Structure 1
Amino acid sequence: MTSAKARLILAHGAGASASSPFMTELAAALAAHHIDVQRFNFPYMQRSIELGGRRPPDKMSVLQQYFTQQLEQTDASLPLFIGGKSMGGRVSSMLSLSEASGVNAIFAFGYPFHPPGKSQWRTAHFSSLAVPLHILQGERDPFGKRAELTDLSWPKVNVHWLTAADHDFKPTKASGLKQQDVICAAAAYCNKVIDEILLANQ
């Protein structure tokens, strides 16, 4: 994409690959805002594709290591951002980032705050984030609903709520919205944040 203003390395969720309909639609919506999106499959997902059948994700340390390799191999000619869908967003938020990494911010599209119906929160590392984390969360996401997060906040974490959406950004019929509308709204917010960061860095 010749007119790209920024680059986003985007990781998939636990159960669907980098070329899933959600990831493909999100990448297209971001590209419409002149954001170059680089998607990749974690090794366990690539094995699932090649050999057939579902495989559980590797350990978090393995996922982090592979994401870091993707980051190190990325062309640094554009302002750099990282993120992912659900698990991919969590992995990106747990990377050991230094100033040398060049990462400006992290975007999590549907953060898995906790397993549905359980109180095992995955936010311990939020207090030590090196760069800002922007979470785009459906209001009725069972991995972290709006009502559960009302009284919670972290210094470098910003949660942007998506109207009537679930974990896959599918809205209620009553909302009159389609999943594509929500994905486009998420991309537009992501673009707004990137524009603000680029302007501040000028």
Structure 2
Amino acid sequence: MVNETMTQILREEGDIIIEGALYNFVSLKSLLELRKLDVVFSEVYDASTSIIEGLDLLRKLKAQFPAIDIILHTEIEIPALLIQSNADAIYMKQLGVEGCRASAAQILNAESMVSVLFYEDRKRHYDFEMLSDYEWEVLIMFSQQMSITNIADKKKTDYRRISRMKHAIMNKLKINNNVAFSQLMALAGCKFGEYPPVSL
């Protein structure tokens, strides 16, 4: 409902040409390879892609197409992970037509697309660090519920290196303990329709 509503609201803007509304990341990647776009307006996951996989795809798309502004419009309130997408702007999704109109107005009137923006009542101070590509690969494996031993075997390295990397990742994402990390990884592995209404 939000996707279709936002598409209609954005269509009402006279100077915006909408190339299409897509429902999965595979179609998005194909479209970007075929057409020159200025802006991609996206949720962070779809029915076949987990949150962490969606963020990984967006991260890779931003690296491949740096001139495109990627705007996330999402219900996922996990800032430590959202900023890893390298999106130009991040907005919290609102339900209902009026909520979508307010969201669209905020997005269209933004003077800068280089900051992470949440609605005023949800703003926080964000000082999370960006993960390296290798750390991100390891994080994806953790989100797939792989153990340190399994990851070390798959990466052909030793247990201690992956254990140290896990702690480095936790420090960068400001995660204080293993329980919180496990909870985050369980959420990050969720797909559209599976995500519980909680935030970390």
Report if TM-score (shorter chain) is over 0.5.
no
- TM-score tier (shorter): 0.3 to 0.5
What TM-score comes out, normalization by structure 1 length?
0.41
What TM-score comes out, normalization by structure 2 length?
0.41
More helix by share: 2
Which one has a bigger Cα radius of gyration? 2
Larger relative contact order (Cα-Cα within 8 Å, sequence gap ≥ 6): 2
More strand by share: 1
